[in-house]
Structure 1
Amino acid sequence: MLAVLIAFSAGCSRVATRIPASVEPQLTRDPAVIEGVLDNGLTYLIMKNSEPKGRVSMHLAIKAGSMYETEAQRGAAHFLEHMLFNGSENFPPGELIKYFQRIGMMFGGDANAHTGFYETVYDVVLPTGDEKSLAEGLLVMRDYAGGALLLEAEVERERGVILAEKRDRDSESYRQFVRSLAFELPGMRINERHPIGVEETIKAADSKLLRAYYDTWYRPDNMALVVVGDMDPNTVADLINARFASLSARAPEGEIPDTGTFAHVGNKAFYSHNPEAGSTRVALEVLRYVERQPDTYAARRQQLLFNMVSQLLENRLTEGVGKPETPYTDGGAGAGTYLRNVRYGIVSAECPPDAWEESLRIVDHTLRSALVYGFTASEVTRVKKEIKNGLLQEEQKASTRNSRQLASMLIRGFTEEKSVVSPSDARQLFEPVVDAVTAEELHQVLKEVWRPSHRLVMVEGNVRLGGDDAAAVAAILSAYDISRQVAAAPRKEQDAADFPYLPAPETPGEIASRVTHDKLGLTVVTFENGVVLNLKQTDFKAKEVLYSLRFGKGLSAAEGLVPGLPALSEMVANESGLGRLDREETGRAMAGTNTSSAFRLGQDGFALSGRTTPEELELMFQVLHTRLRDTQLKEDAYRLAVQRYTQGLEEMGRTVDGVLQQKGEAFLTGDRDRFGYPDASLPGINFDAVKRLVMSPLTGATLELSVAGDMEEDEVIALCARWLGSLPARTPQAASGHKLVFPSGKRLELSVESAIDKAVVTVAWPTTGMTDIHKVRRLSILGSLFSERLRETVREKLGAAYSPRAWNNSSRAYPEHGVLRAIITVNPEQVSEVVAAVNEIAEGLRAAPPSEDEIRRVVDPLVNRITDFRRTNGYWLSSVMQDSSRYPEKLVWPLDMLEDFRAVTAGEVHELAKTYLVEPNVATITVVPSS
């Protein structure tokens, strides 16, 4: 389970470098970051940024998390995080979330928090960057920092919510993670300080316990305010000084606990059976304790080299995936330092349970081959291209980075004590490293990573090994010893894979029409062969171009479907590589480029979608041209897809959430073929069925290409004329009259064999499709209003669920079909109570209109979210241009969208509730554990 924790990486270790210390380059802080420290020790980090426009991302970061808890406080850091939303000096209990909503913020999306091992962070995304909005945000942050009330009644009320969150997060996979971490890091404090805490502490926690942690660690010299966005940095600095200068420590400085240490010796095995897993994971690891090192150029250089050798190993492990001789379905590798003190190396594979020994053998031989013989020139060249391209893209896209992402980077810099380096400086520092490094040096880096004499051999997942744990461990070590007796073999140099390989069309297609929609800022070009091109040039994100080539009427019009065929077919198409090139050859041919392509099977259309950059527009068209003219579905890809899909089915059928996914949508649509899942034998599915579903629309249906982003329209039009406009004309596919049937008044009761004590409930009502956009927008408000009342009732009053939610989904493929549903994860003993509560909420929405304040608290944050979404290429691509030749109303919808949402009234929402949330139509799904 080491891979799960790599995301918590908190710094890199210093290692040997060939550069003398006297001339080692220095890490310089990004000059765009304004840093200051108040007299009381509070740090502030401010950065002006214009995406999204008008928004400000504000955060309070505390250098303390669950690792700093005493034995009696296990869970206090996370409990305290919850409590800061439940009453403070300026916000009485129950008012802070409403305050957020009234100023246009969405709880959970714009206002949230998280607790980690070493940090706690509070997030607020302000709707505007004017002085008033900044002052309001800082008022909230000041209360977080020092104004918590921690009332006993609120502690008692929040206890149920936290227990519900603990239940939500509980799973066999989480329990396996806890077991494996204890094996990997014996003696380290982290094993006793998981952020969610222990039930005994959660049930016994009181105001005194929480305040002790709060006063000890929430002190100004242990905090930073991070503010990034569209605002005046000087104004922010002045407001921070005015608001926080009076903040003082309320208790003596806490003693940072010892993290513990560990030392592995010899070969050890770990086995854990996980009945929820759909596959088995085998891994080899080395882990050693290292002292925490400062953030230096040498440390980052070493991590860069670690990343390169990890990618080299991963490429080797994955190149054979799908082939008959490869027993596993995926492979991976990693190296570095995480959790501040743990140096690691890992190679792993996901496999069927009966293939664990053979998969372990290949993983072992792949690692030892690299350790003995090193890397070939061609594979090093590929990784160099990819790393250098990543550095270049970061630099080129820096001007339009997202404020929240930048803020996260500054927060990590503060909590992990790392320098925030600008992308241009990072490229200047590390591109020469990539250029200069040799295969021989990377070989030495790999040997340094795997220098420890021990090996941890991990086997975990759905494999059942006979006997007790000792017997399982002995079997694993025996399999590893047998593998080690076979000498490693050198790798052969691979031939280059060239792309493009099809000749370019000699004559471009003729344009039949060109229409400019000035109000939308987009252009529609139709070619003589029927190809439609929709274009919108934007400046939302530098060097980003998104595209989607649509064809066919989708699954709604497909014949001969059986459950699982669409999902499996999509997997086969995406694993088959590019034309005559297989997946691995495609990877080598496209190394160092930014153009991606993915096949998608949707209910209302099929698509080839992806992204590129302005410099690679022709490459994008070459990819599309090859896909259309020379797609070759591979039997190896079909074999791999079947393995992976079957693993997914196995996993899905073993949790309440998975069973809901398997059975729920088929129940709510009355269509198992399009929305259901098969059993593990995949009845009715074979390679020929996949080819029929994919190839007919791909090679024969009319084409519509939508492109949005940082590009020149005339260049795209010329390229489209050449590569797509020159294709033979195609025949439109007939529309579908297929209808879905909602199970009004019916109840589906399901169970799953599980030791995890949680259930999931869905309560749903039929609504309508996308025909009337005015109505659909108001149905979305009704869904959001329902979700807000779920939060107030099921979470806050009953304490029965952590994250209940509701939303409306109206279909475009099926014009009469829509569903408003509520989904809640609960204690199995509370299923009936929660179902009753949901129905009471529906009854309340039918009985009386909501207040104007309630409507505004739902609508205003949504309008702000939509405003931001409209400044993304994804919005214009998917919500406006895509399929607009079939649905021309999509080019009208954006014109009044914001005004229409702002005009929503309580009366309109009430009428929809009376129309659709009627008791005879309600359908209920419950999934409970059977053991």
Structure 2
Amino acid sequence: MNSIKLLFWLWIASVTAVSHAQSDPAQPLPLDEKVRFGQLENGLTYYIRSNQEPRERASFYIIQNVGALLEEDHQNGLAHFLEHMAFNGTKHFPGKGIIHFLERHGVAFGENINAYTSQNQTVYNLTDVPVNKPGILDSCLLVLHDWSHYLLLTEEEIDLERGVIKEEWRTRRNAQFRMFTASLPYLYPNSKFAERDVIGDLEVIENFDYQVLRDFYHKWYRTDLQAIAVVGDFDADEMEKKVRKQFSAIPPLEDPPERPFYDIPDNEEPIFGLVTDKEADQTVIRYIIRHRQPDAGVKTLMDQREDYIHSLFNSMMTQRLDELLQKGDPPFVVGVINYGDFERGYEALSVIAIPKPNDEERGFKALMTELERVKRYGFTQGELDRARSNLLTRWENYYKERDKISNDEFVEEYISHYLEGNAFVSVEDGYELVQLLLPTITLEDFDARLAGWITDKNRVLVIQGPEGEDVEHLSQEASLRILEEVAQMDVEPYEDEALAESLISEALLPAGIVETRALPAFDAVEWTLENGARVVFRHADYEKDQVQLQAYSKGGSSLYDDAYVPSAEMLTSLTSFYGVGEFDAMGLQKML
């Protein structure tokens, strides 16, 4: 019995109390054995994997468990500033040496050489690097090595970068960003999240002392808060030897300060925020119910099952809201209800609406009604069956195409493991997990989750939108009234229309082939049928077990008089909303 099935039966035994003393449902999921994973004595973590997609290419990442939240007030913006400085001189690559060296090998800055900073982390990457040239592997490892501990941070380069950051600060401040920063105190009340927008305080950027940046660097860019991930077309054993030798020499910080976790304090009463901007072009209503999840990583069989429950819930809610959008006068332009990650250590039930102009009450009330409907009556078995089938199909395709997974897709799993604790299982084990666990998920699971997700505590409602005399936004009083009304109103159960047995109601009559013509330039063949139709067929096994069909006829809008050309050109986009044959658009989607 393999490890996944053993875990599964241990879990079954525990939940049925058959063998509680001998089983441990919290036993960790098995990690992908093809990954060389470890931690050096200095605390640095590494992930190494050989992968041939694409051939003769590799990706190199360094993950810093450091972001804007670690800044003091006089350092506001320096985590992001430091990210920029990593490209402005290191011990072995002074000045713009990293960029110049890699661009000589066809690795473009901004596209394949990049980084990002968020409130909790900073990640640097060299992607799609050609590794068939002598010395390139060692040079890329040397770049990661320097990013870890050997930035030069010269006064000249710091002053030059102040101007770059100031320009980025200026160009970023569009309506969307202004409303984002103004919303932070509502979304993260009384928390440091509300004080750090990553790009920082312009006054700090212009005037900080050089040593302040260096102090931040040496305090937080340290081996016990760093991981490197290297994936590509190379020998993994040899790469591990290189990594252990080169990165073990980086000294750890003596008596390092603890890396803090930042809480978002509870709010007993709902928080309301209205944020407007004269340049905004649409309104977004965001209603969240926040939940503290101190250990939210997917580490065990039970965690994985819970993750599937979240995915299925989001899928079924999306399906219901899509049906509302198919109606003649939908109540909103965009509607989303889902449950998932909010910030590190937190999850949230989110309701997001983009309403029609000056129709915010109708749009928000429609979404809250759908949430109330599923809270009272749950989902139907048909909805769950379709959602499970769709998730399983996605995993089947992923499994069949597992030899086509890119280097960067693998790295994203390792970043998630290092920062969030999510296990990086193999594709084979993941496919087996989904087959074993999906049948154990029932309608009652969603009833139980919704009872815990929908609470009166930690509720936040933020409305972002245009500012102007002709614009009407929901007030706090009106918003709270909608929440109360929906909780008290009569709501009918969702009706899941029965599906047909087959897409095709009548047997299709075949047409014989009257002519066969080879198309060697395309490695294809053309068949002419007795009814006049022509079929071009090409066998391709790159995407296994997939068939792509496209049909067309000659003519198009050119067959119509000039007055009908605009309507004819619009027709193709409109037909997708009408379905096919006996099925409307939503019925067709469910059948497929």
Give the TM-score range, shorter chain.
Answer: 0.7 to 0.9
Give runs of aligned pairs for residues 381-396 of structure 1, distance below 5 A: 381-396=385-400
Shift in Å at residue 276 of structure 1? 4.4
Q: Give the distance between the partners of 1:210 and 1:305, measured in 2 at CA.
A: 44
Instruction: Work out which of the residue numbers 212, 228, 233 in structure 1 matches 2:236.
Output: 233
Q: Give the distance between the partners of 2:252 and 2:50, measured in 1 at CA.
A: 30
Partner of 1:426: 430
Instruction: Work out which of the residue numbers 339, 342, 349 in structure 2 matches 1:338.
Output: 342
How many residue pairs were aligned? 569
Partner of 1:522: 523
Instruction: Work out which of the residue numbers 356, 365, 373 in structure 1 matches 2:360.
Output: 356
Cα distance per residue 1:646-676 (max 9 Å; x no partner): xxxxxxxxxxxxxxxxxxxxxxxxxxxxxxx
Distance 1:309 1:467, change over 3 A: closer
Q: Give the distance between the partners of 1:191 and 1:555, measured in 2 at CA.
A: 54
Shift in Å at residue 164 of structure 1? 2.4
Output the TM-score relative to the length of structure 2: 0.87
Is contact 1:292–1:340 with CA below 8 Å preserved after alignment?
A: no
Shift in Å at residue 581 of structure 1? 2.2
Give runs of aligned pairs for residues 61-76 of structure 1, distance below 5 A: 61-76=63-78
Q: Give the distance between the partners of 1:136 and 1:304, measured in 2 at CA.
A: 41
The answer to whether 1:191 aligns with 2:191 is: no
Shift in Å at residue 342 of structure 1? 2.1
Distance 1:182 1:567, change over 3 A: farther
Deviates more, 1:452-461 or 1:137-146: 452-461
Shift in Å at residue 51 of structure 1? 0.4
The answer to whether 1:460 aligns with 2:464 is: yes
Q: Higher relative CO (CA 8 A, sep ≥ 6), structure 1 or 2?
A: 2
Is contact 1:130–1:231 with CA below 8 Å preserved after alignment?
A: no
Is contact 2:373–2:491 with CA below 8 Å preserved after alignment?
A: yes
Structure 1 counterpart of 2:305, one-letter code? R
Give runs of aligned pairs for residues 808-847 of structure 1, distance below 5 A: none
Partner of 2:222: 219
Is contact 2:340–2:347 with CA below 8 Å preserved after alignment?
A: yes
Cα distance per residue 1:109-145 (max 9 Å; x no partner): 2211111222211111320256622111112212212
Partner of 2:267: 264
Distance 1:549 1:191, change over 3 A: farther
Shift in Å at residue 524 of structure 1? 4.6
Is contact 2:103–2:109 with CA below 8 Å preserved after alignment?
A: yes
Is contact 1:47–1:227 with CA below 8 Å preserved after alignment?
A: yes
Q: Give the distance between the partners of 2:169 and 2:562, measured in 1 at CA.
A: 44
Q: Give the distance between the partners of 2:297 and 2:275, measured in 1 at CA.
A: 36
Q: Give the distance between the partners of 2:470 and 2:479, measured in 1 at CA.
A: 11
Q: Give the distance between the partners of 1:147 and 1:204, measured in 2 at CA.
A: 24
Q: Give the distance between the partners of 2:491 and 2:93, measured in 1 at CA.
A: 66
Is contact 2:229–2:411 with CA below 8 Å preserved after alignment?
A: yes
Instruction: Work out which of the residue numbers 534, 542, 563 in structure 2 matches 1:531.
Output: 534
Give runs of aligned pairs for residues 681-692 of structure 1, distance below 5 A: none
Distance 1:454 1:259, change over 3 A: closer
Question: Cα RMSD (Å) of the superposition?
Answer: 3.1
Q: Secondary structure at the match of 1:575?
A: coil
Q: Give the distance between the partners of 2:281 and 2:562, measured in 1 at CA.
A: 28
Identity over aligned residues, as a percent? 24
Shift in Å at residue 510 of structure 1? 3.4
Distance 1:172 1:556, change over 3 A: farther
The answer to whether 1:32 aligns with 2:25 is: no
The answer to whether 1:149 aligns with 2:152 is: yes
Q: Give the distance between the partners of 2:209 and 2:572, measured in 1 at CA.
A: 52
Q: Give the distance between the partners of 1:567 and 1:182, measured in 2 at CA.
A: 47
Q: Secondary structure at the match of 1:507?
A: coil
Shift in Å at residue 189 of structure 1? 1.4
Distance 1:284 1:139, change over 3 A: closer
Distance 1:70 1:454, change over 3 A: closer
Q: Give the distance between the partners of 1:119 and 1:561, measured in 2 at CA.
A: 57
Structure 2 counterpart of 1:327, one-letter code? P
Partner of 1:761: none
Give runs of aligned pairs for residues 860-899 of structure 1, distance below 5 A: none
The answer to whether 1:243 aligns with 2:246 is: yes
Cα distance per residue 1:559-607 (max 9 Å; x no partner): 74999979965542333334442221122111xxxxxxxxxxxxxxxxx
Deviates more, 1:28-37 or 1:493-502: 493-502
Output the TM-score relative to the length of structure 1: 0.57
The answer to whether 1:313 aligns with 2:317 is: yes
Partner of 2:3: none
Give runs of aligned pairs for residues 711-750 of structure 1, distance below 5 A: none
Is contact 2:42–2:248 with CA below 8 Å preserved after alignment?
A: yes
Q: Secondary structure at the match of 2:114?
A: strand
Structure 1 counterpart of 2:35, one-letter code? V
Shift in Å at residue 403 of structure 1? 1.0
Structure 2 counterpart of 1:320, one-letter code? L
Q: Give the distance between the partners of 1:558 and 1:169, measured in 2 at CA.
A: 47
The answer to whether 1:207 aligns with 2:215 is: no
Structure 1 counterpart of 2:417, one-letter code? G
Q: Secondary structure at the match of 1:345?
A: strand
Cα distance per residue 1:167-188 (max 9 Å; x no partner): 3332212222233332122022
Is contact 2:67–2:120 with CA below 8 Å preserved after alignment?
A: yes
Is contact 2:269–2:456 with CA below 8 Å preserved after alignment?
A: no
Shift in Å at residue 157 of structure 1? 1.4
Is contact 2:375–2:450 with CA below 8 Å preserved after alignment?
A: yes
Partner of 2:584: 582
Q: Secondary structure at the match of 1:319?
A: helix
Shift in Å at residue 244 of structure 1? 2.0
Q: Secondary structure at the match of 2:476?
A: helix
Is contact 2:266–2:457 with CA below 8 Å preserved after alignment?
A: no
Shift in Å at residue 496 of structure 1? 1.0
Partner of 1:287: 290
Instruction: Work out which of the residue numbers 488, 492, 514 in structure 1 matches 2:491.
Output: 488
Is contact 2:297–2:420 with CA below 8 Å preserved after alignment?
A: no
The answer for unaligned runs of 5 or more in structure 2 is 1-13
Distance 1:64 1:455, change over 3 A: closer
Partner of 2:167: 164
Q: Secondary structure at the match of 1:354?
A: coil
Distance 1:124 1:572, change over 3 A: same
Q: Give the distance between the partners of 1:572 and 1:581, measured in 2 at CA.
A: 15
Structure 1 counterpart of 2:422, one-letter code? K
